[in-house]
Amino acid sequence: MRPLWLLASLLALSQALPFEQKGFWDFTLDDGLLMMNDEEASGADTTSGVPDLDSLTPTFSAMCPFGCHCHLRVVQCSDLGLKSVPKEISPDTTLLDLQNNDITELRKDDFKGLQHLYALVLVNNKISKIHEKAFSPLRKLQKLYISKNNLVEIPPNLPGSLVELRIHDNRIRKVPKGVFSGLRNMNCIEMGGNPLENSGFEPGAFDGLKLNYLRISESKLTGIPKDLPETLNELHLDHNKIQAIELEDLLRYSKLYRLGLGHNQIRMIENGSLSFLPTLRELHLDNNKLSRVPAGLPDLKLLQVVYLHSNNITKVGVNDFCPVGFGVKRAYYNGISLFNNPVPYWEVQPATFRCVTDRLAIQFGNYKK
């Protein structure tokens, strides 16, 4: 009787030991947890982040694919050279990590029985084909990370429970109307690194979505898309080929907190175009071709951070950043970057930065012809 008691005690202890999910958690630290920080800054619901392992009860299932690590409903099968989704995955699995393998296709029954799956990681495989019913069993899936594959289209019939989709660094050229139909819970899409042009978005492609966060960076956009969800708090369009911001380009994005337009070819921002962003807190316009500080910044009462470094700005006026009179601006600047511009800084009047919290918040100098 005593040996049986000892064996039971050892088994209980082994289940209680912490387990390091290095492959998966390294990925979420680089991508997922950063996104959580972005969501916090943008007012998005942070409860949709990585699940709290403390809330997951241990599973005593003996099912675990060969070569994988299985614990606390987490199945880690990364970096194994797998050609397909493994079998014998426990039906109570909550998190399945299949990144860094050689999977080329997702078949109809690959995820059969995984109705409790919360997060699916397929990053850095060779997936080019997905069966239209591959995701049908995943009725509780909230996180789908399928970046760095060979997809040429958005996967069809995504689970209606999906909250976050990361599909960057694929070969997607078109986003058709209806591809996101029924995804009422979706609040984050990362689709940068695809060869998307403005014409690749069909009218109504984002109909029904209530996104907080959207990134379409490192693509082939020449202008700001005009048909994105009006619920957006964050929009990142950096590393594209955008040349100008015209008057009505930002008309429907009045809820934006953060706008990223760095590393484009922007020469002109039409007067009044920024007035449609009354809640904007952070504006990235670095590494463009602007010759002046954009008009309208003093009217953005909540704006706190402006990146304007590495442009062609030659002059900074005394009222370019701050409104005339006190009490107008509701939040002072805590970051203005102007370095690597041909500005004669000794000519800039100190009063120019009267609504900045600290001198250290202003970055000047280091211009190279």
Which pLDDT score is estimated for 53?
Answer: 43
pLDDT at 62: 66
Cα dihedral value 38, 231, 45, 238, nearest 10 = -20
The two tokens of residue 243 are 């040349």
3-state secondary structure of 15: helix
The answer to whether 215 and 239 are in contact (CB under 8 A) is no
Alpha carbons within 13 A on the beta-carbon side of 146: 28
At 169, which amino acid appears? D
DSSP-assigned letter for residue 31 = I
Contacts of 197 (CB under 8 A, 6+ apart): 173, 219, 220, 221, 222
Beta pairing partners, 356: 333
Series of mean pLDDT values for 10-residue runs along the chain (369 residues): 37 36 38 39 40 45 86 95 95 97 97 97 98 96 98 94 98 94 95 96 93 98 94 98 95 97 97 95 98 95 96 95 81 94 91 90 73
